[in-house]
Structure 1
């Protein structure tokens, strides 16, 4: 009887530890999915339609419902290329952590014009090829945060 109770207690402790070990993986997956939703659009538009693109994409990607997000960057590269940035040398993030990586990509920067209201946010756009810094986590490393 004693061994059966001990066995059950050990099994329960092992399951609790296993569950805790899996939590960061699930959290990283959610952060990766959020990064993709907020920052990745391989097709992307450019030129004179850039402001229209920002207005449409910010709303479609659910960044204007509760409040107008002040600034957002969309990366116009295939996901494999964005993911490959995570294999470059680590650099310091704005928060001081050393899990950031940099690469040069095509982007559209969307900046809120001011005076917009949630649900009807308006943006200016800047299209360029520039250096970006993203935070990466996991094994294999994937982007989870757009740092700058």
Structure 2
């Protein structure tokens, strides 16, 4: 009886481990997913002003060696963003068919020009708008902000 319980427990633990492995993005996708989160997701932020962009672009390490000209921060929780990956596939700017669109709250940060890294300066524009993100993996996760 004890041996049967041990086998059942081992089988149960193996099934849980297999499930965890199946729902995790691959190593390369995980790197791209983490980069997407760092560069584009700020669920607690409200954004909307130049100071926000100046701070976030520096804090998220997009001004170290040169000023990134344009970046968008999404102000939604990650599950809302990930749900965009379950919408119909559309064509990305690079021609691939792994993009998806959804409507989210964003702050667009545009470099003002003339500023030098690491003290880059940005203009902010807050809105609720349609975005297009590329998704990869099984399950699909966002890996690139297309537009």
TM over 0.5: yes
Structure 1 CA distance for aligned equivalents of residues 91 and 111 of structure 2: 28
Q: How far is 1:76 from its partner? A: 0.1
SS of the residue 2:71 aligns to:
strand
SS of the residue 1:54 aligns to:
helix
- Structure 2-normalised TM-score? 0.82
Q: In the alignment, which residue of structure 2 is the partner of 1:25?
A: 26
- Residue by residue over 1:4-46, the C-alpha shift from the partner in whole angstroms, topping out at 9 and shown as x without a partner, is xxxxxxxxxxxxxxxxxxxx81100000000000000001124
How do 1:1-148 residues align onto structure 2 when only pairs under 5 Å count?
25-47=26-48, 50-148=49-147
Structure 2 CA distance for aligned equivalents of residues 32 and 43 of structure 1: 19
Runs of 4+ in 1 over 4 A off after TM superposition: none
The answer (yes or no) to whether the contact 2:33–2:141 under 8 Å persists in 1 is yes
Structure 1 CA distance for aligned equivalents of residues 73 and 64 of structure 2: 18
Structure 1 CA distance for aligned equivalents of residues 27 and 38 of structure 2: 17
RMSD: 1.0
Structure 1 CA distance for aligned equivalents of residues 26 and 127 of structure 2: 34
Structure 1 CA distance for aligned equivalents of residues 127 and 135 of structure 2: 23
The answer (yes or no) to whether the contact 2:47–2:53 under 8 Å persists in 1 is no
**Structure 1 alignment gaps of length 5 or more:** 1-23
Structure 2 CA distance for aligned equivalents of residues 142 and 115 of structure 1: 36
Structure 2 CA distance for aligned equivalents of residues 41 and 77 of structure 1: 7
